[in-house]
Amino acid sequence: IERENLLENSRLMGERLKEGFGKLLDFSIVGDVRGRGLLCGVEIVKDKATRE
Residue 42, CA distances (Å) to 8, 19, 49 in order:
23, 12, 16
pLDDT for residue 29: 95
Do 18 and 40 meet the contact criterion of CB atoms below 8 Å apart?
yes
Per-residue pLDDT of the chain (52 residues; tens, 9 = 90+): 899 999 999 989 999 999 999 999 999 999 999 988 888 999 999 998 888 8
CA distance 6 to 27: 33
pLDDT for residue 51: 83
pLDDT for residue 37: 80
Name the residue ranges covered by the structural domains of the chain.
Answer: 6-44
pLDDT for residue 35: 87
